[in-house]
């Protein structure tokens, strides 16, 4: 399953002989190596040669290296420089702090800082709630990680996690207008993480937990939710859950099934798997069966940790046993939140007609869309951008926090999450809805607006809003 991607792209600065056929040989070398052209720019013309910047896309880093070597091997072509476009984007980091007020005069300085700032500090000391109006608290979120469960990379540590957290902060600003700050912590101890987040919380209106490994992530989030009066949201759990709900609501419309009637089988009972199950049950799903690498989770199974034992009590009402492939017999929906190979083509063939398959392991799905049995599966979604129907958390978290901050919510309730899922689903009209279009584009600016409005309304309805949207 090879797909060319901009994430593995480079700009090659090449010197070519200024003669007929030179560029054709360059193009042939790239094509022979399986690469793809992007932009082609003429840099300058020297005597007898032309200097061009050529952007190429590959499937992975090794493929990119093979493309470069293929070009180098062509007589009459000199590769002067290779610039990895992804590394260039990250040079110096992706975000910065900017001033909202000018400091051009002595008056500006005296109001922004000393002595004028003392009056503002005293006002907050007299009325701590005024910090919402007089500081960045009203629009700020801390993106907190310990780097133990980063993307598909696992435990790579806080320094290596920074590019992801910077990216998260960038997306908060770009899509939700929220000022977010990456905070990567050099500790894996839940007590220390909780203590640190509590200590920095006064400066923030919300806490976004990110890429913290299970089962510690459950304890950390639960403790912080109980001890802080601002929203605490573990995006790996709840962001995923919200977008899965949105996609499933629309997929069920496509196949003409009711959410109350479907049988759902999941693989993966970690952070995302548990949260997805919870939101689906809150939205009306009655039958969910979760599986781990040993098979079905059921009440009474030996060796379950506390999280899975609690999960078993609220799922699999028939206490069914067997592998994921076995349990897919007659299932309407398969949700993959695990690893490649978690289910097989044979298992999918056992599903009910007009089956729905969300294979969300990244970068390699549990089962590749092209390996699904023809005619059995009506709707497919993955976590990848190079297939239709990408389950992408950026559809959820900017709007969720935008809505929560707008009403100064004290927490994020299950009702707010379900409302967010319905809001995302509603972006696609019935006329637009189809098997390959059940989830809106992350670049659709209506998404954040609708999610924020729905979340704020749900916060008011659930009694956790501290001010009205009006």
- What are the catalytic residues? 113, 168
What does the DSSP assignment read for 195-219?
A: HHHHHHGGG-SEEEE-S--TTHHHH
Alpha-carbon distance of 46 to 97, in angstroms, equals 42
Contacts of 415 (CB under 8 A, 6+ apart): 282, 458, 461, 462
Measured on CA atoms in the order 347, 349, 350, 354, is the torsion positive or negative?
A: positive
Q: CA dist 389 to 174, 194, 240, 396, Å? A: 22, 36, 14, 15
Two structure tokens written together for 53? 């910047």
User: CA torsion, points 101, 103, 109, 112, in degrees to nearest 10?
Assistant: 10
Alpha-carbon distance of 213 to 151, in angstroms, equals 11
What one-character DSSP code corresponds to residue 372?
S
Phi-psi group of 21: left, alpha or beta (phi > 0 → left; psi -120 to 50 → alpha; rest → beta): left
Phi-psi group of 68: left, alpha or beta (phi > 0 → left; psi -120 to 50 → alpha; rest → beta): alpha
Two structure tokens written together for 392? 């992408």
Q: CA dist 149 to 131, 161, 360, Å? A: 34, 9, 16
Measured on CA atoms in the order 15, 18, 19, 24, is the torsion positive or negative?
A: positive
Alpha-carbon distance of 66 to 1, in angstroms, equals 18
Classify residue 167 by burial, with Cβ atoms within 10 Å: 0-12, 13-18, 19+.
middle
Q: Which helix (H) or strand (E) holds 164?
A: helix 157-176
Query: What burial letters (b/e) apply to 41-60, b meaning 16+ CB within 10 Å?
Result: eeeeeeeebbbbbbbbbbbe
* Tally of CB atoms within 10 A around 464: 20
Alpha-carbon distance of 337 to 360, in angstroms, equals 6
What one-character DSSP code corresponds to residue 187?
-
């Amino acid at each position: 399953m090879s797909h060319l991607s901009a994430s593995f792209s480079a700009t090659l600065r090449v010197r070519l002989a200024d003669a007929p056929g030179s560029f054709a040989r360059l193009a042939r070398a790239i094509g022979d190596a399986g690469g793809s052209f992007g932009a082609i720019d003429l840099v300058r013309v020297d005597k007898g040669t032309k200097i061009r910047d050529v952007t190429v896309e590959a499937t992975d880093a090794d493929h990119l290296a093979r493309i470069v070597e293929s070009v180098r091997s062509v007589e009459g072509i000199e590769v002067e420089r290779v610039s990895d476009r992804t590394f260039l984007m990250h040079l110096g980091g992706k975000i910065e702090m900017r001033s909202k007020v000018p400091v051009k005069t002595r008056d500006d300085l005296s109001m922004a800082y000393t002595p004028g700032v003392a009056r503002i500090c005293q006002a907050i000391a007299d009325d701590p709630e005024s910090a919402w109006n007089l500081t960045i608290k009203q629009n700020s979120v801390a993106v907190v990680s310990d780097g133990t469960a980063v993307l598909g990379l696992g435990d790579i540590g806080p320094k290596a996690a920074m590019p992801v957290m910077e990216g998260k902060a960038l997306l908060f600003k770009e899509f939700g207008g929220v000022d977010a700050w990456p905070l990567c912590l050099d500790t894996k101890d839940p007590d220390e993480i909780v203590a640190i987040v509590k200590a920095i919380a006064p400066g923030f209106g919300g806490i976004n937990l990110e890429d913290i490994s299970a089962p510690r992530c459950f304890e950390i989030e639960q403790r912080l939710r109980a001890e802080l009066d601002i929203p605490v949201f573990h995006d790996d759990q709840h962001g995923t859950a919200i977008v899965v709900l949105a996609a499933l609501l629309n997929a069920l419309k496509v196949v003409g099934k009711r959410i109350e009637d479907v049988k759902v089988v999941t693989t993966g009972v970690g952070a995302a798997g548990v949260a997805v199950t919870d939101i689906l049950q809150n939205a009306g799903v009655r039958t969910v069966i979760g599986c781990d690498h040993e098979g079905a989770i059921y009440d009474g199974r030996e060796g379950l940790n506390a999280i899975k034992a609690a999960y078993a009590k609220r799922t699999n009402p028939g206490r069914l046993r067997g592998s994921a492939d076995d349990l897919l017999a007659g299932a309407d929906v398969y949700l993959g939140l695990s690893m490649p190979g978690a289910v097989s083509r044979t298992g999918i063939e056992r599903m009910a007609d007009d089956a729905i398959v969300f294979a969300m392991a990244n970068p390699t799905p549990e089962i590749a869309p092209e390996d699904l049995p023809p005619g059995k599966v009506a709707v497919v979604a993955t976590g990848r951008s190079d297939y239709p129907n990408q389950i992408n958390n950026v559809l959820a978290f900017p709007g969720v926090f935008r809505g929560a901050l707008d009403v100064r919510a004290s927490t994020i309730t299950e009702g707010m999450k379900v409302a967010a899922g319905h809001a995302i689903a509603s972006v696609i009209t019935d006329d637009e809805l189809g098997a390959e279009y059940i989830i809106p584009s992350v670049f659709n600016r209506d998404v954040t607006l609708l999610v924020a409005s729905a979340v704020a309304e749900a916060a008011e309805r659930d009694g956790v809003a501290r001010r009205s949207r009006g």
